[in-house]
Amino acid sequence: MARIALTDDEITRLQGELNVIADSINEVQKVAGDDVEPTANPVPLEAYLRPDVAETPLTQAEALAGGPKTEAGMFVAPRIQE
Amino acid sequence: MTDATELVKLSAAEMAAKIRNKEVSSRELTEAHLAVIEKAEPTIDAFLKVAADSALAEADAFDAKNAKGETEGLPELAGVPIAIKDMIVTKGIETTAASKILEGWVPPYDATVISKIKAAGMPILGKTNLDEFAQGSSTEHSAFKTTKNPWNTEHVPGGSGGGSASAVGAFEAPIALGTDTGGSIRQPGAFTGTVGVKPTYGGVSRFGAIAMASSLDQIGPVSRTVLDAALLHEVIGGHDKRDSTSIPREVPPVVAAAREGLKMDLKGVKVGLIKELGGEGFQPDVEARFNEAVETLKGMGAEVVEISCPHFPAALGAYYIIMPSEVSSNLARYDGMRYGLRVMPPADVPQTAANMMAYTREAGFGDEVKRRIILGTYALSAGYYDAWYGSAQKVRTLIIEDFKKAFEQVDVLVSPTAPTTAFKFGEKTADPLTMYLGDVATIPANMGGVPAMSIPAGLSDEGLPVGFQFFAPQMQDEKMYKPAAALEAALEGKWGGPVWNDLKTPWLDEA
Amino acid sequence: MADKLMKFSEAVKKYDPVIGLETHVELSTNTKLFCPAHVEFGGEPNTQLTPVSLGLPGSLPVVNKAAVDYAIKLGLALHCEINEWSQFARKNYFYPDMPRDYQISQYDKPTNGNGYLDVELDDGTIFRVPIERAHIEDDAGKNTHIGGADGRIEGADHSLVDYNRAGVPLIEIVTKPIEGVGARAAEIAGAYMRTLRDIVRALNISHARMEQGNMRADVNVSLRPSPDDPFGTRSETKNVNSFRGIEKTITYEIRRQAARLDEGKEILQETRHWDESTQTTAGGRLKTDADDYRYFPDPDLVMLHITKEHIDEMKAQMPEMPRERRNRLKAEWGLSDLQMRDIINADALDLIEETVKAGAKAAGARKWWLGEIARAANAKEVSLEEMPITPADVAEVEKLIAAGKLNDKLAKKTVAGVLAGEGTPAEVVKKHGYQVVEDTGAIEKAVDDALAANPDVFEKLKSGNMKPMGVIIGAVMKATRGQADAKAVTKIVMAKVKG
């Protein structure tokens, strides 16, 4: 799901570390009672809504400049199906 | 010492005054710093990229304006050069977040803070080193180089913003920008004897700050004095319509507060000592410097009380759920399609887009980043969401409430910035959890969205800097600047000068 | 391997179908949902991007007010509860056309929840479709597959990605399970989709052209032995982009699933797709852990606050809804229920209204769109809208008739010419030299010839038996190559008969 091709060594090492972290996470579950509301943003704001007015876009050259592989003004993806 | 070395030892405010009085030009200041950078970098390794040509061009442009008297309305720091953590996007200057996955990426746009700095005529000296994608507390996780602590080059400068802190600490730059997600500005500040400020969440636009954990990230100033930090805070702060989490208000009056603090009168100021941030796990000499500073605050008339923030002990665990969860999503975009590295799978593996992404990310990310992505991916997955992410968001609520209750009783809260002084290279990389524990005192401010800053509180027995941390209520950043400036002035009085008088700077002597 | 199918009538006798529709409507805002890049269909690739829609590091989303307003209007039209607080959430999955590798959508706090849509069926009955939610989200880019057959993803060597569409605002309208549909499942789905399309157009929030992908639906179908049983396992047929396709998908899935259940096989929870060429649905992908989208509130966006005042403001801007409009037009045009339903079923309401606005009479407009043009469209299996003739063209033909410049026969030829791509009605008329013969001398001569050639008919007419008049008119038309006006011919013949 994370889309990282981990090696076996890395997987073993990560598992050990994840267990250690899991312990401190138990602390979290202890204090997080049902009566507590979750907070997503630390500062309570309501959304600013942008007017529907266009601004100058990137040029095609600027958009493609960082692309590892491009063709015909587009980004190249290796074949999508297996 | 040459004129140039004397020049770079000035505070940014003093440099700015000299520019206004036409005693020195922006170009002279910029050249002086570039000269120090050249001498210091072999030892310090604070910079990933030095932008000498564009910095000098920006300095010349400012000087030309200044000569014509067209600097009306510019911030006080106009013309003073600055270093930028390589987590912040700069148009035309390679921006990598110290990751191989972004190596060579030249952004086509400027972060909002960079636009403001450019508009202020402040030359950008270069991009400073950091832990890859700001993930780490020692700058050892940079994919490119290891930045040294100017106080002792066998010790880390802290992290993730070790590059900006060391650059300012070593006089390579008068001021710098950092980003702070769990202490990445303040902890390196503590480790290098510099000032580091994390403003209120939303007080400085995040547009153009490469995202680590969006609900915790905040850009802030790095400097050698509290007033310099305040001056820079006013340059970069304020509402930005390109960042939905930006607070629609004016920058708090931090410069006035800092200047007020320099009068060293804290009568009527109530200071709360956070009971939960001290004691076990805190180095004795760190506690000693902290207590001396508290006494100094009292000596200026401050009333000091102990305050309990009962949910702070759960902050670290909650942080290590929220942060990697957001990291796992924010770093998904580095997939080899639009920018940065692309690695095709080996020949015996199907040459598909999905495999390309997996091999690119395996090759492009370092261990610490991968560790956090994997952890975050688990924390958000269907079977775990409520128990992990949901619970952590509740802890955030509790921490915000802790701060609210505390600030009903006091004006500012204080604690040591970090439990220890700068540790040696390699000392903690083998055990991520002890590394994580070092962030115990800085994380609550990010979880609660409140402003916090670290200032030097003197040196440890080993001669390494100790940090003293102030917290203020959300959107009232000015409240910490006054006592911080006062404490800085009082301690300097006690020490007979700033803490860096004790810093040996062989690179300056050669400059 | 071809699916086994049960006869439809048998399938709906043995099983109770439950359907569900998830419809994506692409909004016609000027700029994208989260950034000020202008949106235009068919621009040069990767020219409608800002750092935000390209997913560049450091970029941040900011919500477009127009998209929110459009969503509120649609929510009002669908009788939804409009939530005072709604929230954007990230839907995490990797795909080359996703600039951030997550979609920004809404999850547990959508802008619109809990509504309904009443749809009118062929026989005039009203069926209420329950709506679960209508939420806002952004679209992905577009892949062009290279190296495979017919540009298909299967067997392609690589794909080219254009991110212009990435970030275009969508509203996804999700129905609750629609129960009690029985044998009318497909009809109800079709009526729902058309009604939704009409509403979206009336609100002017989307071009709603299915063939351009402005509107597409995921079709869920499940069967259960009786309405008292729990829901069966459903199949989800993705991205069906025509009304007929949706109707056929439902019929096909009911038949396929019934046959499987009859054989004691289970229904797989899978995504399928409708194949227009084979008129079947084909199995896609089984649901796996890759479908765990790890939704969480987008920390780059804050809560969306929609005040009662704002909703009232939107209410005041609501245009006439399609059903009210139909009733009004029915009265204005003097049509019966049945005639109106024919127009609706043919998807001709907008076209006829525009033709009337362009100066034609309602009866004439209706005759063309439901007659000649509908026949041609049926033969080509395309919608009326896609036919190469505009309401203005039809109105022009009607005007030529009214002015006596074309008769019925020539008008049909003219319309045929327009449909054949020969140009506007005026151009077709000019090209073929169509005109009603007004030269009475020529017509008189033709009449004389016809009467002379048919003396028996002439006698009958004289004796007051008008029945064989057609023979004379036919002969005159033939002689004038159809360009005589039948009324004028009749008049001359009558004069001769009486004279």
Cα B241 to chain centroid distance, Å, stands at 23
ipTM of the complex in this document: 0.96
User: Would residue C392 count as lying in a domain?
Assistant: yes
CB of A67 within 8 Å of a chain C CB? The answer is no
Selected residue with higher pLDDT from B382 and B319: B319
Query: Is B184 labeled as catalytic in the residue annotation?
Result: yes
pLDDT number for residue C438: 66
pLDDT number for residue A6: 81
User: Would residue C27 count as lying in a domain?
Assistant: yes
Q: Report whether pLDDT(C290) > 60.
A: no
pLDDT tens per residue across span C309-356: 999 999 999 999 988 898 899 999 999 888 988 898 888 998 999 999
Q: How far apart are CA B187 and CA C139, in angstroms?
A: 41
Among candidate residues B334, B323, B318, the one with its CA nearest the CA of residue B366:
B334
C368 and C486 belong to one structural domain: no
- C65 and A49 in contact by Cβ < 8 A? yes
C352 and C426 belong to one structural domain: yes
- B335 and C96 in contact by Cβ < 8 A? yes
C82 and C191 belong to one structural domain: yes
Beta pairing class for C81-82 and C215-224: unpaired
C302 and C324 belong to one structural domain: no
Which residues are CB-neighbours of C92 under 8 A, at least 6 positions away?
B328, B329, B332, B380, C101, C102, C293, C294, C295
User: Would residue C292 count as lying in a domain?
Assistant: yes
Q: Which of C376, C397, C432 delimits the end of a domain?
A: C432
Confidence of residue C289 (pLDDT cuts 50, 70, 90): low
Q: Report whether pLDDT(A17) > 80.
A: no
C428 and C451 belong to one structural domain: no
Q: What is the CATH number of the domain that holds C494?
A: 1.10.10
- Decide if B169 contacts B128 (C-beta within 8 A): no
Selected residue with higher pLDDT from C497 and B207: B207
CB of B339 within 8 Å of a chain C CB? The answer is yes
What is the overall mean pLDDT for chain B? Answer: 96
Q: Report whether pLDDT(B1) > 50.
A: no
Q: Report whether pLDDT(C77) > 70.
A: yes
Q: How far apart are CA B499 and CA B488, in angstroms?
A: 10
pLDDT tens per residue across span B137-149: 999 999 999 999 9
CB of A40 within 8 Å of a chain C CB? The answer is yes
pLDDT number for residue B437: 81
Across the interface, of A17, A77, A82, the residue whose CB is closest to B350 is A82
CB of A42 within 8 Å of a chain C CB? The answer is no
C121 and C235 belong to one structural domain: yes
What is the overall mean pLDDT for chain C? Answer: 91
Taking residues B105-121, what's their average pLDDT? 98
Confidence of residue C124 (pLDDT cuts 50, 70, 90): confident
Q: How far apart are CA B402 and CA C23, in angstroms?
A: 45
pLDDT number for residue C435: 78
Which residues are CB-neighbours of C217 under 8 A, at least 6 positions away?
C21, C22, C23, C24, C193, C239, C240, C241, C246
Q: Which of C284, C314, C344 delimits the end of a domain?
A: C314
If contacts are CB pairs under 8 Å, which of residues 50-79 in chain B contact chain C?
Answer: none
pLDDT number for residue A70: 97
Marked catalytic residue, from B25, B138, B142, B184: B184
Give φ, ψ of B313 to 5 degrees: -60, -25
C255 and C326 belong to one structural domain: no
pTM over 0.95: no
Confidence of residue C1 (pLDDT cuts 50, 70, 90): low
C297 and C338 belong to one structural domain: no
Q: Could you give the 3-state DSSP secondary structure of residue C138?
A: strand
Marked catalytic residue, from B26, B137, B142, B160: B160
Across the interface, of C60, C99, C101, the residue whose CB is closest to B207 is C60
Taking residues C168-177, what's their average pLDDT? 98
Confidence of residue A14 (pLDDT cuts 50, 70, 90): confident
User: Would residue C2 count as lying in a domain?
Assistant: no
Q: Report whether pLDDT(C499) > 70.
A: no
Among candidate residues B164, B176, B76, the one with its CA nearest the CA of residue B124:
B176
C274 and C330 belong to one structural domain: no
The amino acid at residue C76 is L
User: Would residue C137 count as lying in a domain?
Assistant: yes
Across the interface, of A45, A52, A66, the residue whose CB is closest to C65 is A52
Domains of chain B, first to last: 3-265+442-510 (3.90.1300.10)
pLDDT number for residue A4: 85
Q: How far apart are CA B82 and CA B62, in angstroms?
A: 14
Q: Domain tally for chain C? A: 3
Buried b (16+ CB within 10 A) or exposed e, C372-384: bbbebbeeeeebb
pLDDT tens per residue across span C181-225: 999 999 999 999 999 999 999 999 999 988 888 999 999 999 999
Q: How far apart are CA C399 and CA B464, in angstroms?
A: 95
Question: What is the chain C residue with the closest CA to B110?
Answer: C58
pLDDT tens per residue across span B24-80: 999 999 999 999 999 999 999 999 999 999 999 999 999 999 999 999 999 999 999
Q: Report whether pLDDT(C41) > 60.
A: yes
pLDDT number for residue B2: 60
Give the DSSP per-residue string, B210-226. Answer: PPSSTTT--EEEEESSH
CB of C30 within 8 Å of a chain A CB? The answer is yes
Q: Report whether pLDDT(C479) > 90.
A: no
Which alpha helices (H) appear in C263-371, and where do they start and end?
A: 308-316, 322-333, 337-345, 349-357, 362-370
CB of B382 within 8 Å of a chain C CB? The answer is yes
Q: How far apart are CA B122 and CA B114, in angstroms?
A: 10
Question: Percentage of chain C with pLDDT > 90?
Answer: 66
C184 and C113 belong to one structural domain: yes
Q: Which of C262, C293, C314 delimits the end of a domain?
A: C314
C68 and C15 belong to one structural domain: yes
Query: What sign has the CA pseudo-torsion B171, B173, B174, B180?
Result: negative
Neighbours of chain A (3+ CB pairs under 8 A): B, C
C90 and C119 belong to one structural domain: yes
Query: Residue C472 sits in which domain range?
Result: 440-498
User: Would residue C1 count as lying in a domain?
Assistant: no
